[in-house]
Amino acid sequence: MLVDIPQPRLTTAHAGPLFPVEEVILSHVNKIEAWFRNQWIMSSPPIMTSVDLRHAGYKLAPVDTNLFPAGFNNLNPDFMPMCVQAVQSILGCKCASILLIPESHTRNLFYQQSLAVLRDIFIKAGYNVRLGSLDETVTEAFEITTEKGDVLCIEPLVRRGNRVGLADYDPCLVLLNNDLSAGVPPILQNLQQRIEPLTQLGWASRLKSNHFEFYNQVVTEFAQLIDLDPWLINPLFSVEDEIDFMQQMGVERVAEAVHQLLLRIETQYRLYDIEKKPFVVMKADNGTYGMSVMTIRDANTVLQLNRKQRTGMATTKGRQKVSRVILQEGVYSAETTQDGAVAEPVVYMLGQFVVGGFYRVHQERGVDENLNAPGMHFEPLAFAKACNIPSSNRECVDPLNRFYAYGVIARLAAMAASREIIALDA
C-alpha cells in the first residue's frame, strides 16, 4: 500500500510481553471465532459501532459504545477496501439507495470529514447515497467542501406518507448518523422504510447503564468460554437516578455510590496486587460526545462540586438535562506514547466486522482521564494494521495480536448493543 503510517510513537503497542488478557484471548482464537459466528446468528450486530476502550495492561475494557460514530476520517485509508467489503456483506441485496442523515453540526470540520468518509464507504460499495438534514432551518440543498476537498451536498428532508426522502429521492434505507439526543423528530416517526440504527437507540432514550447490563451478560458467557475472570474485561458500574446537580439533589446518594464502587474496585485491585488508586468516572447515563463526564478519585468530591463542574454535569448534548448518572470503574490507560502522552484505542465495526481503529492521543491529560471531551484536542493515530487477523505467532507482542484483542473486546460490546436491539423489539 502506498500510505505508510508508522507508529514509532506508541510505546505499548509494539513492546513488552503480552498482557494476561491478551494472552488468554490469543490462545483461544478458534473458540472465540466459532462463538462469535454462532452469536451473530442469534442477534445481528448494529450496522456500525465504535467502541472506546481503555487498556490498563492488567485490564482491557470498553468504556463507551457508540452506535452513531463519527471519526471515520481517523481510520487508516488503507482499510477502505475492508469497509466496503463489510458493507457489501451486511447490507443484503434488497437495498440500492440510502438516505444518510448526519448530525446537524455539519460546520464541525472533523465531523464533515468523517461524514465524507462514511458516505464514500457506501458509495464505493455500490449504493446510491444522498444526505438529508434533520435541521429544520435547512430548506434548500447546500454544499459543504471539506478541508480535504470532498463535496457534501446536504438537502432538506421530505416526508411523503410514511416514507422519508428528499425532493426527488425515495431511498430504501435510512442510515442514521445522528444520535437523536433531542428525541426522535416527527419526520422519522412511524416510517415504513428500513432505518438503521433504530431510532430508539438514539441518546434521548438509550442508556449507557442498559448497555453495560447487557455487556455484563455477554461477558459472563464469554469469560466462561475462555476461562477468564470477567472483571478483567468489564468495568464495574452502578447507576443513580433522580439527580439534580444544579439543585444539589441526590448528590449524597451519588457520593455514597461512588464510595461503594471505589471499595469494590479496591477489592479487585488487592486480589490482583495492583498498586494503584481506584477511581470512578461519572457520566450522564444518556450522555454522549464526551459531555457530562468527570473523573472522581474521592467520593467527597461529589459533594464539593463547584458551579462550573455542576453546570458541566447538569446538561449534555442537545441541552438534555442530566438526572441519571452511571458511575463506572475508571480504567487506567497503560497505552502511552514515547513522549508520555496518554493514548486510548477506539475500534470501529461495520456489522460484525472489525474494520479498523485509531488511538486518541492527548499530551496533557492523565492516565485516569477521559480523552474524549468537548473542547479537547486529541491527536488521532490510525491503527496501521488490521484488527481481524492475529499474528502467525500468537505468543509474540505484535500490533496484530494487540489489535486482534481490541477487536474481540469491541465485538463483545457490539454484541451487547445487539442485545439492546433485541430487547427493544421484545
Strands 379-382 and 353-362: antiparallel
Assess 171 for contact with a copy of itself (CB under 8 A). Answer: no
Give the integer Cα–Cα distance in Å for 265 and 299.
13
Based on the shown chain and the rule CB under 8 A, indicate whether residue 19 belongs to the binding site for a copy of itself. Answer: no
Stretch that binds a copy of itself, among 29-37, 196-204, 239-247, 276-284 (CB under 8 A): 29-37
Of 32, 115, 118, 232, the residue at the interface with a copy of itself (CB under 8 A) is: 32
Query: Is residue 96 a contact point for a copy of itself (CB under 8 A)?
Result: yes
Cβ 123 to a copy of itself shortest distance, Å: 8
* Residues in 35-64 that interact with a copy of itself by CB under 8 A: 36-38, 40-41
Judged by beta carbon, residue 6 or residue 161, the one nearer a copy of itself is 6
d(CA 41, CA 352): 11
Q: Strand 158-160 relative to strand 48-55: parallel, antiparallel, unpaired?
A: unpaired
CB of 119 to a copy of itself, least distance (A): 11
34 is an interface residue for a copy of itself by CB under 8 A: yes
Report DSSP letters for 85-152, one per residue.
Answer: HHHHHHS-SS--EEEEEE-S-TT-HHHHHHHHHHHHHHHHTT-EEEEEE--TT--S-EEEE-TTS-EE
Q: Show the beta-strand stretches assigned E in 323-422.
A: 325-329, 342-350, 353-362, 379-382
Give residues with Cβ within 8 angstroms of 316, minimum separation 6. Answer: 181, 203, 284, 286, 287, 288, 289, 291, 292, 322
Measured CA to CA, the distance from residue 383 to residue 50 in angstroms comes to: 14
86 is an interface residue for a copy of itself by CB under 8 A? yes
The stretch among 25-33, 252-260, 278-286, 308-316 that binds a copy of itself (CB under 8 A) is: 25-33
The number of C-alpha atoms within 13 Å of 332 and in the hemisphere containing its C-beta is: 14
DSSP state of 399: H
Q: Is 3 in the site for a copy of itself (CB under 8 A)?
A: yes
State the minimum distance, in angstroms, from the CB of residue 105 to a copy of itself. 24
Structure-block grid coordinates of residue 212: 453495560
Nearer to a copy of itself, 92 or 186 (CB): 92
Cα dihedral 332, 333, 334, 338 sign: negative
- Cβ atoms of 216 and 227 within 8 Å: the answer is no
Report the site for a copy of itself in 148-167 (rule: CB under 8 A). 150
Considering only CA atoms, which of 127, 113, 174 is closest in space to residue 358?
113
Grid coordinates given for 268: 479487585
Which residue lies nearer to a copy of itself by CB, 132 or 407?
Answer: 407
Q: Which of positions 384-423 make contact with a copy of itself (CB under 8 A)?
A: 384-386, 388-390, 392
Cell of 83: 469497509
Asked if 2 interacts with a copy of itself (CB under 8 A), we say yes
Least distance to a copy of itself, CB of residue 69, Å: 19
Q: Of 80, 182, 191, 274, which lies in the binding site for a copy of itself, with binding defined by CB under 8 A?
A: 80
Number of residues that bind a copy of itself (CB under 8 A): 45
Residues of span 332-391 touching a copy of itself by CB under 8 A: 353, 384-386, 388-390
Single residue of 58, 127, 212, 348 touching a copy of itself by CB under 8 A: 127
Tell me: does residue 29 bind a copy of itself (CB under 8 A): yes
- Angstrom distances, CA of residue 112 to CA of 109, 150, 156, 344, 345: 5, 9, 17, 23, 22
Among 16, 105, 109, 126, binds a copy of itself (CB under 8 A): 126
Binding site for a copy of itself (CB under 8 A): 1-6, 29-30, 32-34, 36-38, 40-41, 76, 78-82, 84-86, 88-89, 92-93, 96, 120, 124-128, 150, 353, 384-386, 388-390, 392
